């Protein structure tokens, strides 16, 4: 029996198999949500062969969906359509559960991927009392692990923003105008244009910590 | 002899004729810049008949252009292609000028529409010493008018941001995450998601100052 896990994000699809195979691909869910079943099918093909499948997600918060429930249900339906095996779904307060439970209460499956990671990391030897820091493209998770389990100040995005365990800053997608009010230009303070012209990825480019990708034209 | 003036913005095309006719239409230049000649042609058709044509712009800063020079030249070429008469162009430091002068030094035509407005407003009777405040969809201009002329602390966007005469906040397009770090939710401070999910337009909707437009689905 081998198992695969996939994470359906708003900008990226990720998959891993328990022998260490990892697959990721960019997928702009908020622009192309009709193409999700096809994209998941390609992700799963790259993860073959596997017997069991688990799903986490954050893509339900994309603004192509009227609300998170609609997003969770569409993502679950897309994965079911693409997969040959019935997937299990990670619930924020229930761990790995049946897809029927997720469909019955979609919000329990929303933004649960950090919790799956924290539960797994907390169970690793030597991680008994630790701090888990996961810096992603869009957000950063900071989670206390105590006695081999996540010790969280909140479960939903709103609660976690308040507790400081979800920091809405990442290495790629964060608009510069959301983290800086003004910049020092030649010794003079200059307010920024409140436009989506530059993101944190551009900061790393300018600092020389990343090299330019001529094919990357989106902001 | 009748005259028309048009302003090519990044999100809207606007036109006016000297008898008071005004035409505006939304046009997402940053997404569809290949369609600009056609869109300008339709704008000019709605302004017919007129003998002379003047152009201002701010759309050159859209990130579909590699830089502002490229943007100005593309916008000028699009207007020339669409118009039956050779347009004049407002230059930030030269007023109404020939299109050849604008092409020779494109940056002088960049973001000059506020200056055309300020020059016109300053010449109106009773506006000798005044403050001109123009709140747009994306930005707000605050310009001193002294002795029937604009008295500016800067001419370029960068200079004007520094002087406070260009405030990058408008009634429609400003991302909420660029003007607010945290919000009071039920008595508790909650940091915001650094996403383009909500703009100032949503603020006016929530305050009940604007009514909802079911057809408006973009953020």
Is the pLDDT at A80 greater than 80, yes or no?
A: yes
C-alpha–C-alpha distance, residues B94 and B91, integer Å = 5
Q: Is the pLDDT of residue B219 over 90?
A: no
Q: Vertex B173, ends A173 and B58: CA angle to 5°?
A: 100
CB-closest option in B138, B158, B177 to A178: B177
Whether the per-residue pLDDT at A210 is higher than 90: the answer is no
Chain B residue with minimum CA distance to A63: B197
Q: In this structure, are B138 and B50 located in the same domain?
A: no
B194/A185 CB distance under 8 A? no
Q: What is the mean pLDDT of chain B?
A: 93
Pairing relationship of beta strands A3-8 and A52-57 according to DSSP bridges: parallel
Q: Is the pLDDT of residue B8 over 60?
A: yes
Residue A214, pLDDT score: 66
Task: Give the pLDDT band (50/70/90) at residue B214.
Answer: low
- A17 and A105 assigned to the same domain: yes
Residue with tokens 């900071």: A142
Cα–Cα distance, B219 to B215 (Å, whole number): 12
Instruction: Write down the pLDDT at residue A212.
Output: 80
Do A161 and B192 count as a contact with CB atoms less than 8 A apart?
yes
**Domain assignment present for B120:** no
Q: Do residues B81 and B151 both lie within one domain?
A: no
Average pLDDT, chain A: 93
A42 belongs to a structural domain: yes
The contacts of residue A166 (CB under 8 Å, 6+ apart) are A114, A139, A140, A141, A154, A157, A160
**Does residue A116 form part of some domain?**
no
- Position B150 pLDDT exceeds 70: yes
Interface residue B193 vs chain A (CB under 8 A): yes
pLDDT in tens, B176-209: 999 998 999 889 899 999 888 899 999 999 999 9
Mean pLDDT for the stretch of residues B154-162: 93
At residue A16 the predicted structure's pLDDT band, cuts being 50, 70 and 90, is: very high
Q: Decide which of A59 and B1 is more confident.
A: A59
pLDDT value at position A218?
62
Buried b / exposed e along B19-53 (16+ C-beta atoms within 10 A): eeeebeeebebbeebeebbebbbebbeebeebeeb
pLDDT digits (tens, 9 = 90+) for A102-132: 999 999 999 999 999 999 999 998 888 999 9
Number of domains present in the structure of chain A: 3
Same domain as A84, residue A156: no
Shared domain check, B10 and B107: yes
CB pairs below 8 Å between A and B: how many?
Answer: 70
Helix, strand, coil shares, percent, chain A, to 5: 30, 25, 40
Q: Do A106 and A157 reside in the same domain of the chain?
A: no
B81 shares a domain with B49: yes
Q: Is B135 an interface residue toward A (CB < 8 Å)?
A: no
* Residues contacting B207, CB < 8 A, separation 6+: none
> Looking at the domain assignment, is residue B38 inside a domain?
yes
A160 and A179 part of one domain? no
Instruction: Give contacts of B174 with chain A, Cβ < 8 Å.
Output: 194
The CATH number linked to A97 is 3.30.420.40
Put residue A187 in one of left, alpha, beta given phi > 0 → left and psi -120 to 50 → alpha: left
d(CA A59, CA A111): 8
Distance CA B168, CA B140 (A): 6
Q: Does A191 touch chain B (CB under 8 A)?
A: yes
Residue B117 in any domain: the answer is no
Looking at the fold, whether B157 and B185 belong to one and the same domain comes out as no
Helical (H) or strand (E) element with A122: helix A113-123
Distant-in-sequence, close-in-space partners of A78: CB < 8 Å, separation ≥ 6? A8, A36, A37, A40
Statement: residue A217 has pLDDT above 80: no
Note whether A70 and A91 are same-domain residues: yes
Residue count of chain A: 219
Give the model's confidence band at A11: pLDDT under 50 very low, under 70 low, under 90 confident, else very high.
confident
Burial of residue B160 (CB within 10 Å: 0-12, 13-18, 19+) is: buried
Question: B169 in contact with A at a CB cutoff of 8 Å?
Answer: yes
- Residue B211, pLDDT score: 84
Q: How far away is chain B from the Cα of A57, in angstroms, using its nearest Cα?
A: 17
* Mean per-residue pLDDT, B154-183: 93
Continuous segment of H or E residues that includes residue A52:
strand A52-57
Q: Which residues of B touch A162 (CB under 8 A)?
A: 185, 188-191
In the predicted model, what is the mean pLDDT of residues A187-196? 90
- The DSSP bridge pattern shows strands A88-91 and A52-57 to be parallel
A21 is a domain residue: yes
Has residue A119 been placed in a domain? no
Model confidence at A1, in pLDDT bands (50, 70, 90)?
Answer: confident
Instruction: Using an 8 Å CB-CB cutoff, list chain B residues near A158.
Output: 185, 190
Residues of A in contact with B196 (CB under 8 A): 175, 196
Confidence of residue A53 (pLDDT cuts 50, 70, 90): very high
* CB-CB under 8 Å, A177 with B175: yes
Please tell me which of the candidates B63, B162, B192 has its beta carbon nearest to residue A197: B63
B103 and B30 within one domain: yes
Question: How are beta strands B22-26 and B12-17 bridged, if at all?
Answer: antiparallel
Tell which residue, B120, B186, B181, has the closest CA to residue B149.
B120
Cα–Cα distance for residue pair A143/A170, rounded to 1 Å: 16
Least confident of A42-46, B80-84, B194-198: B194-198
- The answer to the question of residue B116 being in a domain is no
Query: Residue A219: which of A157, A186, A176 has the closest Cα?
Result: A176
A125: helix, coil or strand? coil
Question: B105 and B86 share a domain?
Answer: yes
Q: What is the reported pLDDT for A134? A: 96
**Structural domain of B74:** 3-111
Where residue B54 falls (left for φ over 0; alpha for ψ -120 to 50; beta otherwise) is beta
pLDDT in tens, B49-68: 999 999 999 999 999 999 99
Kindly report the nearest CA distance between residue B79 and chain A, in angstroms: 25
Whether pLDDT at B116 is above 60: yes
CA pair distance A148, A118, nearest whole angstrom: 10
């Amino acid at each position: 029996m081998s198992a695969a896990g996939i994470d359906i994000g708003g900008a990226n699809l990720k998959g891993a198999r328990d022998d260490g195979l990892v697959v990721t691909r960019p997928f702009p869910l908020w622009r192309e949500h009709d193409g999700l079943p096809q994209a998941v099918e390609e992700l799963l093909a790259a993860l073959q062969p596997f017997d069991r499948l688990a799903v986490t997600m954050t893509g339900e918060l994309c603004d192509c969906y009227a609300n998170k429930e609609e997003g969770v249900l569409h993502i679950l339906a897309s994965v079911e359509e693409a997969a040959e095996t019935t997937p299990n779904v990670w619930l924020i307060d229930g761990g790995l559960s049946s897809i029927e439970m997720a469909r019955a209460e979609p919000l329990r499956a929303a933004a649960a991927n950090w919790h799956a990671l924290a539960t797994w990391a907390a169970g690793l030897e030597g991680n008994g009392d630790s701090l888990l820091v996961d810096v992603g493209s869009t957000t950063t998770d900071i989670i206390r692990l105590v006695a081999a389990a996540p010790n969280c100040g909140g479960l939903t995005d709103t609660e976690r923003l308040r507790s400081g365990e979800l920091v809405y800053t990442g290495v790629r997608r964060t608009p510069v105008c959301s983290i800086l009010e003004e910049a020092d230009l030649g010794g003079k303070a200059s307010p920024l244009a409140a436009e989506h012209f530059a993101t944190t990825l551009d900061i790393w480019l300018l600092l020389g910590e990343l090299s330019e990708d001529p094919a990357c034209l989106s902001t």
